[in-house]
Structure 1
Amino acid sequence: MVELDAVTRQFPNGVTALDAVTVAFAPATFTAVMGPSGSGKSTLLQCAAGLDRPTSGRVTIAGQDLTGLSERRLTLLRRDRIGFVFQAFNLLPALTARQNVGLPLRLAGRRPDRGALDRALAAVGLADRAGHRPHELSGGQQQRVAIARALVTSPAVLFADEPTGALDTATGRDVLRLLRTLVDEHGQTIVMVTHDPVAAAHADRVLFLTDGRCSGSLDAPTAAAVAARMTGLGVAS
């Protein structure tokens, strides 16, 4: 679903955030990306999602080569084919949950179908909260609304950057179980950047980065195995 081929990202200050990274993310899989601070995790996500352009190399999403796309075409691709979930929920406080979910469609000039919005909320367990505004929802419920908003356009891939970072442990695990369900029952492809071995253990595979390069992966991860690998990369548990 997503392929990076020899992707390098160098910044004007001389820092090489990604160094010839080649990796593929298969459809209907959940991949966690981990590594020490400054290893290139966020840069990998940004390049893979079309938010940043590599210095060299190629990124392909659902068969579409991003190389050479104009900013307009890249914006349309992100809008129609890519979902984003971040640590911050980024919900508009004056809008209900249903209206927040429908916002990407309105911004695209499309009239949201109420049934489709309600189905998106039902998929994240919030069918009975459609009329509630963000201040009437818990942090976990707000993140679920943000996930529903990301899913409403039926994206080819969902990119998540520390999606549980602002949540308490129990709520965070509820959100991670939801992401797991989206993969197992709905065939969603998810790529998640995280620093948490427990969060990574919900994925099918963990990809490790060090100094902008792939430094291995771990299939069917457990929290203990991920923590041990991270310790081996020089990161304190």
Structure 2
Amino acid sequence: MCGPPPRGIVSAMTTQTVVLDGVRAEYGAGARRVVALDGVSIGFAAGTFAAVMGPSGSGKSTLLHCAAGLDRPAAGSVAIDGVTLGGLGEDALTRLRRDRIGFVFQAFNLVSALTAEQNVALPLRLAGRRPAAADVAGALAAVGLGDRLRHRPSELSGGEQQRVAIARALVSRPAVVFADEPTGALDSVTSRHVLDLLRALVDEHGQTVVMVTHDPVAAARADRVVFLADGRIAAELPGPLAADAIAARAAHLETAPC
């Protein structure tokens, strides 16, 4: 059978693009020490879309930052595309993030003076690589902006700016795309379009997407929803799921006694 597996069905033999094993993350020291992740072990399979949810302070963003190599855990290990991050020096880690990881954030992070195509090409140029014009144009075409290459962010809507950010994340053909509240700054209609795009990256291109979100409607587009509480995995639901079922589980976790 060609193409990615059907939504919500992942073979036991499917490659794990991202693997966290016993990850512990701490901030501060002494009386101010905070345990953000407390021995988290989880994998994210290739060609799947996972949503990570939890109340404020549950460790969602820390999990994403550790998984993406932005933060180093105090204990445990993280592997991306078969490469264990803990053994890498800063230069090698930077190269791995540049080549195998894509990032999409709530705040777009586009350079206002640059056009859409220049923003997409910028990470590669900063890395000393000369991006092929066809690759940049292809990434923008893939997100529906093939006719907006020379528009600056001020000439684009919020949804179009987020699509530029997604194209930028994809131009290096990464092993995984990490999205941190990618629809948090968008209205409901534009959010739906961005989620359609992320879903299509998985279903049509076999991309791996890990998305942190507080929105049950966004999480309902994922193949699985992972819930964190107090730095630990509290529950996991396979998709597809209705947003109200996700909201109910999230509410239960927020009100459950410790």
2:138 alignment partner, one of 115, 119, 126: 119
Stretches of 4+ aligned residues off by more than 3 angstroms: none
Matching residue of 1:222: 242
The residue type paired with residue 160 of structure 2 is: Q
Provide the C-alpha distance between the structure 2 equivalents of 1:175 and 1:232, rounded to a whole number of angstroms.
Answer: 28
Consecutive unaligned residues of structure 1, counting only runs of 5 or more, are none
SS in structure 2 at match of 1:85: strand
Displacement of 1:127 after TM fit?
A: 0.5
Displacement of 1:68 after TM fit?
A: 2.5
Matching residue of 2:254: 234
Provide the C-alpha distance between the structure 1 equivalents of 2:131 and 2:84, rounded to a whole number of angstroms.
Answer: 29
| TM-score, length basis structure 2 | 0.90
SS in structure 2 at match of 1:234: helix
Matching residue of 1:136: 155
Displacement of 1:131 after TM fit?
A: 1.1
The residue type paired with residue 249 of structure 2 is: R
SS in structure 2 at match of 1:207: strand
SS in structure 2 at match of 1:188: coil
Matching residue of 1:3: 19
1:47 alignment partner, one of 51, 60, 66: 66
Provide the C-alpha distance between the structure 1 equivalents of 2:49 and 2:200, rounded to a whole number of angstroms.
Answer: 10
Provide the C-alpha distance between the structure 2 equivalents of 1:189 and 1:46, rounded to a whole number of angstroms.
Answer: 16
Deviations 1:178-213 (A, max 9, x none): 000000000110000000000000100000000000
Provide the C-alpha distance between the structure 2 equivalents of 1:87 and 1:231, rounded to a whole number of angstroms.
Answer: 23
SS in structure 1 at match of 2:166: helix
The answer on 1:37 being equivalent to 2:53 is: no
Matching residue of 1:105: 124
SS in structure 2 at match of 1:192: strand
Matching residue of 1:200: 219
The residue type paired with residue 24 of structure 2 is: T
| TM-score, length basis structure 1 | 0.98
Residues 51-62 of structure 1 mapped to structure 2, 5 A cutoff: 51-62=70-81
Matching residue of 1:210: 229
Deviations 1:23-73 (A, max 9, x none): 000000000000011000000000000000000000000000011211111
The answer on 1:154 being equivalent to 2:161 is: no
Provide the C-alpha distance between the structure 1 equivalents of 2:254 and 2:232, rounded to a whole number of angstroms.
Answer: 15
1:75 alignment partner, one of 91, 94, 112: 94
SS in structure 1 at match of 2:135: helix
Provide the C-alpha distance between the structure 2 equivalents of 1:40 and 1:219, rounded to a whole number of angstroms.
Answer: 20
Q: Which has the higher mean CA deviation after the structures are superposed, 149-158 or 5-14? A: 5-14
SS in structure 2 at match of 1:163: coil
The answer on 1:91 being equivalent to 2:107 is: no
Consecutive unaligned residues of structure 2, counting only runs of 5 or more, are 1-16
Provide the C-alpha distance between the structure 1 equivalents of 2:98 and 2:254, rounded to a whole number of angstroms.
Answer: 38
Displacement of 1:105 after TM fit?
A: 1.1
Deviations 1:60-110 (A, max 9, x none): 000000112111111111111100000001111111111111111111111
The residue type paired with residue 149 of structure 2 is: A
Provide the C-alpha distance between the structure 2 equivalents of 1:210 and 1:147, rounded to a whole number of angstroms.
Answer: 29
